[in-house]
Every structure is written in C-alpha cells, then in structure tokens.
Amino acid sequence: MATKFNEKALIQLHKYNCPVSIDASDNILIDVAVKRTLNNDLVFTCPFCVSKRKCNLEPYVNSKPVIHIHGGADYGTRVPHCSVETCLYYQLPKFEFNLVDATRYVSSSYY
C-alpha cells in the first residue's frame, strides 16, 4: 500500500481515522464514517478536500475541511467527489470511498 499513497495522503487518512483496504478486484477502498441527514442522504468529512488552496495547491492553514454529500440511504462504495487540485496535491490513485456507519480505530501501521 505504500506504493499507492504518498506520505501526505497517509497522514490525512490517519488524521481522519480512515482505514484503507483493497478488495478482491484490486480496488482501493477508504472507509469513511458517515452521518445521515434529514433527507436520508449520507454525508462525511473528506480527508483530502479543503475550502481554500494556495497557487501551489497546498492547503491554507485556516482552510476548512469539505463535506461530501452522497444521495441515497444505502451504505457501500461511492466514487469520490474530490477536486482535481486535491487529487494532484496528494497524488491520489484511483480509489472509492466505502461509506460505513462507524470506522474502527486506525493505528499508524500503514503498509
């Protein structure tokens, strides 16, 4: 997994307690804990997206994390809505968010 994510991305995943796994088809899945809205949509704080970035794509210190909204009441995998700037900054590989009710505690032992 170390060849899939760079150090900046792994730090963000650990900071937001988002376990990473690979399914049987070699798809990268990032578990994120979601909350349900009154409209029955699923929302979560993205571990990568922020509200403001500098010209070199680095996040500002005071920038806020972005909330992603996924319609539908079903848990499961969803394609990420991360911006192009975010994907470039973190050099993110192709992955999917796995929407779960709660994530288990993640230690710093990424592979």
pLDDT (tens digit, 9 = 90+) per residue, 23-55?
888 889 999 988 888 888 888 899 999 999 999
CB 18 within 8 A of CB 30: yes
The number of C-alpha atoms within 13 Å of 25 and in the hemisphere containing its C-beta is 5
2 neighbors 111 (Cβ within 8 angstroms) = yes
Q: Does residue 110 have a pLDDT over 80?
A: no
> How many other CB atoms are found less than 10 A from the CB of residue 60?
11
Extents of the domains making up the chain = 7-100
pLDDT at 70 over 70: yes
